[in-house]
Amino acid sequence: MAKIRDMAVVVTGASSGIGRAVALHVAAKGGTVWLVARNRKSLQVVANECRSKGGMAVELPADVTHAEQMHDVARRMVEYCGRIDVWINNAAVFIMGRLEEIPSQAVRRVLDVDLLGYFHGAQAAISVFREQGHGLLINIGSVAGLSGQPFAAPYVAAKAGIEGLSKSLRMELRDVPGIRVCTMRFPSIDTPLFGHAANYTGLEVRPLKPVLAAEAAARAVLRLIRHPRNSAYLGCRAPLLTRIAMMPGIGEKIMATKVDREQLGPEQAATHDGNLYHPPDDNSVSGGWRGGKAPARGIALASAALVLGFFAARRMARA
């Protein structure tokens, strides 16, 4: 792969969280980054920050749920840069609630953004990649797409769909070896995602521990740009959690208990749609969930518990 300073990169969901962190890291390396999100004002703030770091940034307000807008992004970038080197599908919304209590319109909206939005981005990017004979598509996924998670069925279904999308595209693109499709599987990342979540549980929503920094997520994406591979994780605990959660019976019990204890807080919360239909004004990278301290001890204890659970699950499976 070329050096990042020579690349033209599209980032969807670039106004906050992982998307903004990735854009800033690309800009700091001297790359050209196209910022895609719904909130024009937030994109302008991010673009100015990218330019201050030495990169070139172009803000382009667009909604990933509209296929024609994603094709317009691709067309305008080719007109401006002559090519697209990397397209990062990252835009996402989050939802919590029992499935029977979530409005069907909200379920559809989550799937529109978190799954169909990736299809639209992939279609726009690959149409350009095929013409130029090369390109890198990175789909930002989640460990939850492999492990499952209670009270987040629409989000989990979308992330599971992203896994299938990436695999299918790799099969389709065998005739163009210069095109790579990668899936980045993240655990909980400290972003505004959870604060912006649609909430139908009646309780406050928090991320599952441990919560890793958005800057660490951005660095992981840049490593994937430099050294593409089919899939990658952030953090040593993520693949272990996935394997445990995929074990019949015990894995689902572990995840369900973890969500009950950690993700649904003790405080009451009003039912609301979060940022499903309207972009938030918050364009920060962090959601403030880490408290400025790396939970090293928490990670170690959680990892030890998961290791014990993994071997217990294996013994039960063999019995």
Positions marked catalytic: 155
Distance in angstroms (rounded) separating the CA atoms of residues 51 and 76: 19
Distance in angstroms (rounded) separating the CA atoms of residues 91 and 114: 7
What sign does the dihedral 188-122-58-198 (CA atoms) show? negative
Residues whose CB falls within 8 Å of the CB of residue 95, separated by 6 or more in sequence, listed in order:
102, 106, 107, 110, 152, 154, 155, 197, 198, 199, 200, 274, 276
* H helix or E strand, kind and range, residue 115: none
Q: Are 178 and 270 in contact (CB under 8 A)?
A: no
Q: Are 123 and 67 in contact (CB under 8 A)?
A: yes
How crowded is the C-beta side of 141, counted as CA atoms within 13 Å? 31
